[in-house]
Structure 1
Amino acid sequence: MAHMHNHHEPEGADLADAAKATLERAGEQWTAMRASVFEALAGFEKPASAYDIADVMSKSQGRRVAANSVYRILDLFVGANLARRVESANAYVANAHPNCMHDCIFLVCDKCGQTTHIDDDRLTGAVRDAAKGAGFSPERPVIEVRGRCAACAAN
């Protein structure tokens, strides 16, 4: 049986507060722009690209927000564990438990795009061990499983 984690996952303002505290512990400032990017990212039901986030922010702020600025902030967020990158989609999801470090396992639905993040330390530990056994130093394992979510598989 896999070693799974169940976390209390903050939402809304509590999630933004957890993200802010995590970023500040990393020695970074929680600016208005960073707060806006996180709020927009957390508002998506599916992984969002920097362009998706910039579009939402531009509409809500009544001014153009450049995707390049959003990319820089998303890179910071990934490094600080506030967001996760879905590599195959070049998109991001807000990390629902930014205080907890885990390697990523994403279940990506090819039909609707829904992406679920799960934690399984035994599986990701085995991937890290296999990489080390091959003389490779893993830094950020990301596992993506493509297929159909339960809702799409039923249709």
Structure 2
Amino acid sequence: MGAAHHHEHHEGESLAEAAQRAFERAGEQWTPMRAQIFAALSSSAKPASAYDLAEAVSKVTGRRVAANSVYRILDVFVAANLARRVESANAYIANTHPDCEHDCIFLVCDSCGQASHVDDDGLTGAVRQAAEKAGFTRLRPVIEVRGSCATCSEGDVA
């Protein structure tokens, strides 16, 4: 089994502050709209689409926010390590440890839509090595495992 990666997870105000610090270190501005998008993303119980986030921020601000604008902000968040994209769901989750760069292995529940992640640097390192050996550069491994989370699996037991 590969080595687990240990880091400090943030939540609530601590997460917002860590995200802002990481974003500004990446040379980006923490604007009110970006803060609102991040707040909506970090408060979402499951991976959120740009449309979900646009709707949530529109409700809070009382003005329409376009999904295209949210997509652009999410792209910047991903590049700055503030968010991760769950490829198979075309949705995003807040990175609860934006100061730490590593690859995530997502566990996506097909029943409830929840997504969590585990860190296994040994596994993702092996994927990186295999890709580099095949001539790939600028790697971003995407590993997603689909199935049923523990809560949904409990309901499947007969």
Instruction: Name the TM-score, length of structure 2 as normaliser.
Output: 0.95
Mapped partners of 2:108, 2:11: distance in 1: 22
1:37 aligns with 2:37: yes
- Partner AA of 1:126 in structure 2: A
Q: Structure 1 stretches (4+) deviating beyond 4 angstroms? A: none
- State the Cα distance separating 1:151 from its structure 2 match: 1.1
Deviation string 1:36-63 (CA, Å, 9 cap, x unpaired) is 0000000101000000000000011111
The match for 1:108 is 108
The match for 1:149 is 149
Q: CA RMSD in A?
A: 0.9
Provide structure 2 residue ranges, at least 5 long, that are not aligned to the other structure. Answer: none
The match for 1:130 is 130
- SS of 1:35 mapped into structure 2: helix
- Partner AA of 2:74 in structure 1: L
- State the Cα distance separating 1:7 from its structure 2 match: 2.4
Mapped partners of 1:131, 1:102: distance in 2: 16
Mapped partners of 2:9, 2:81: distance in 1: 14
Instruction: Name the TM-score, length of structure 1 as normaliser.
Output: 0.97
**Pairing of 1:57-136 with structure 2 (within 5 A):** 57-136=57-136
Provide structure 1 residue ranges, at least 5 long, that are not aligned to the other structure. Answer: none
Is residue 104–residue 117 contact of structure 1 (8 Å, CA) maintained in 2? yes
Deviates more, 1:132-141 or 1:9-18: 132-141
Deviates more, 1:93-102 or 1:137-146: 137-146
- SS of 1:7 mapped into structure 2: coil
Q: How many residues align?
A: 155
Deviation string 1:12-40 (CA, Å, 9 cap, x unpaired) is 11100000000100111100011000000
Deviates more, 1:39-48 or 1:133-142: 133-142
Mapped partners of 1:137, 1:26: distance in 2: 22
- State the Cα distance separating 1:133 from its structure 2 match: 1.5
